[in-house]
């Protein structure tokens, strides 16, 4: 039997993005420890990996310390959609802060490289467009989204302080809207919301006039970016934006989903949620120049794969 490339820990490994990352690492010959408390994820996402002898699953909440031996840590654990992170905002902040402290402590003890999946939400409702990594953001620290936005900002602070104080090998990625198979059908994210509603023939809900913009990155492209960042030189800490710079209005996305599903669902408009960003688009110059990475899968192709996934799982 061949020797594993290394031992990788993926926190939040049963989540949408985490499960794809576990799968890719296994395909590349790593031993993978998937850690998850299943707060916003499901075992279904990793069921197809359980027969792999290099794959191990542990039910664990990262707000408590973890004592394992690993070479690389991908720290993804944290509810990432408003429906999930606003259900228990105190726990969301604890997950972002205590969870990061515990994983950084593990990296310190083992000498592992550690990567944080931060978020474009650190930019808040941005006053700079597109968003570059040197922009400090426009975040409401006491609003209903602050548990996630400020939690991730605090996590970034902790990562860079551990790097400066303890010479930890850190990587910080700021993820923009990501979509694809294994999204939770009821997590409140716009792509899954629109696709699930369209397939069910139910009204598609658009907040505001639908003129707000988002940039949508297909999950396979994102995993390429995360791996490229983890494997970059020690001098590359980030933060680095990972996302697709193609910018679409929410109304344009709704039209595309309706066209690709062949649905006759009507659209209905509701007021914009508090602190919902009006424009969101990553500047990925740093990722291109530092990692040689940029997305290759366009929204139309990625949506087709996502719609097919939901057709098969919701049937």
Task: Report the candidate in 13, 3, 7 with the shortest Cα–Cα distance to residue 50.
Answer: 13
Residues ≥6 apart with Cβ < 8 Å to 167: none
Q: What is the pLDDT of residues 253-269, one digit of tens each?
A: 999 999 999 999 999 99
Q: Is the model more confident about 278 or about 175?
A: 175
Q: Is the model more confident about 40 or about 236?
A: 236
Q: Collapsing DSSP states into helix, strand and coil, what is residue 35?
A: strand
Q: What is the pLDDT of residues 114-148, one digit of tens each?
A: 999 999 999 999 999 999 999 999 999 999 999 99
Question: Domain count of the chain?
Answer: 1
In whole angstroms, what is the distance from residue 313 CA to residue 315 CA? 6
2 confidence band (pLDDT: 50, 70, 90): low
What secondary structure letter does DSSP report for 185? T
| Mean pLDDT calculated for residue range 22-40 | 96
In our burial notation (b when 16+ CB lie closer than 10 A, e otherwise), range 113-123 reads: bbbbbbbbbbb
Residue 32 resides in a domain: yes
Which of 10-19, 109-118, 170-179, 275-284 comes out lowest in average pLDDT? 275-284
| Mean pLDDT calculated for residue range 235-247 | 97
| Mean pLDDT calculated for residue range 67-82 | 92
Which of 18-22, 36-40, 50-54, 153-157 comes out lowest in average pLDDT? 36-40
Residue 90: the pLDDT is 93
Residue 276: the pLDDT is 74
1 confidence band (pLDDT: 50, 70, 90): very low
Q: Taking the CB of residue 223, how many other CB atoms lie within 10 A of it?
A: 19
Backbone φ and ψ for 116, nearest 5 degrees, come out as: -105, 130
In whole angstroms, what is the distance from residue 240 CA to residue 156 CA? 12
Task: Supply 113's token pair.
Answer: 């490289």
The parent domain of residue 156 ranges over 7-314
Q: What is the pLDDT of residues 176-217, one digit of tens each?
A: 999 999 998 888 889 999 999 999 999 999 988 889 999 999
Task: Supply 186's token pair.
Answer: 């009821």
Q: Is the pLDDT reported for residue 310 higher than 80?
A: yes
| CATH code: domain of residue 277 | 3.40.50.720
Residue 232 resides in a domain: yes
Q: Is the pLDDT reported for residue 235 higher than 50?
A: yes
What secondary structure letter does DSSP report for 271? P
Residue 162: the pLDDT is 98
Residue 1 resides in a domain: no
Indicate which residue of 148, 162, 179, 218 is catalytic: 148
Q: Taking the CB of residue 133, how many other CB atoms lie within 10 A of it?
A: 18
For the chain, give the mean pLDDT: 94
3 confidence band (pLDDT: 50, 70, 90): low
Known active-site residue 148: yes
Residue 19 resides in a domain: yes
Residue 85: the pLDDT is 80
Percent over 70 (pLDDT), the chain = 98
Q: Is the pLDDT reported for residue 218 higher than 70?
A: yes
Q: Are strands 72-75 and 113-119 parallel, antiparallel or unpaired?
A: parallel
Residue 155 resides in a domain: yes
What secondary structure letter does DSSP report for 234? T
| Mean pLDDT calculated for residue range 97-105 | 98
Residue 168 resides in a domain: yes
| Mean pLDDT calculated for residue range 82-92 | 86
Residue 102 resides in a domain: yes
- Chain centroid to Cα 175, Å, comes to 6
Q: Is the pLDDT reported for residue 293 higher than 60?
A: yes
Angle at 243 between CA 75 and CA 131, to 5 degrees: 105
């Amino acid at each position: 039997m061949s020797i594993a490339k290394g031992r990788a820990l993926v926190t939040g490994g049963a989540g949408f993005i985490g499960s794809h990352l576990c799968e890719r690492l296994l395909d590349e010959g790593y031993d993978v420890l998937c850690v998850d408390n299943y707060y916003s994820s499901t075992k279904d996402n990793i069921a197809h990996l359980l027969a792999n002898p290099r794959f191990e699953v542990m039910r664990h909440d990262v707000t408590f310390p973890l004592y394992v031996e690993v070479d690389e840590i991908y720290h993804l654990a944290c509810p990432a959609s408003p429906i999930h992170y606003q259900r228990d905002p105190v726990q969301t902040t604890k997950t972002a802060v205590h969870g990061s402290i515990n994983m950084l402590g593990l990296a310190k003890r083992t000498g592992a490289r550690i990567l944080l999946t931060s978020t474009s939400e650190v930019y808040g409702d941005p006053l700079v467009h597109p968003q570059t990594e040197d922009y400090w953001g426009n975040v409401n620290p006491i609003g209903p989204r602050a548990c996630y936005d400020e939690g991730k900002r605090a996590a970034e602070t902790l990562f860079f302080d551990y790097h400066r104080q303890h010479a930890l090998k850190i990587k910080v990625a700021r993820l923009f809207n990501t979509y694809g198979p294994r999204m939770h059908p009821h997590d409140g994210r716009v792509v899954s919301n629109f696709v699930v509603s369209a397939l069910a023939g139910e009204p598609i809900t658009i907040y505001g006039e639908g003129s707000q913009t988002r940039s949508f990155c297909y999950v396979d492209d994102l995993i390429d970016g995360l791996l490229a960042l983890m494997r970059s030189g020690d001098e590359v800490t980030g933060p680095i934006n990972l996302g697709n710079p193609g910018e679409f209005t929410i109304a344009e996305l709704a039209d595309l989903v309706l066209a690709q599903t062949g649905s006759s669902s009507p659209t209905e408009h509701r007021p914009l949620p508090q602190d919902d960003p009006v424009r969101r688009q990553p500047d990925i110059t740093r990722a291109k120049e530092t990692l040689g990475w940029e997305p290759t899968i366009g929204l139309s192709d990625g949506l087709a794969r996502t719609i097919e996934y939901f057709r098969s799982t919701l049937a």
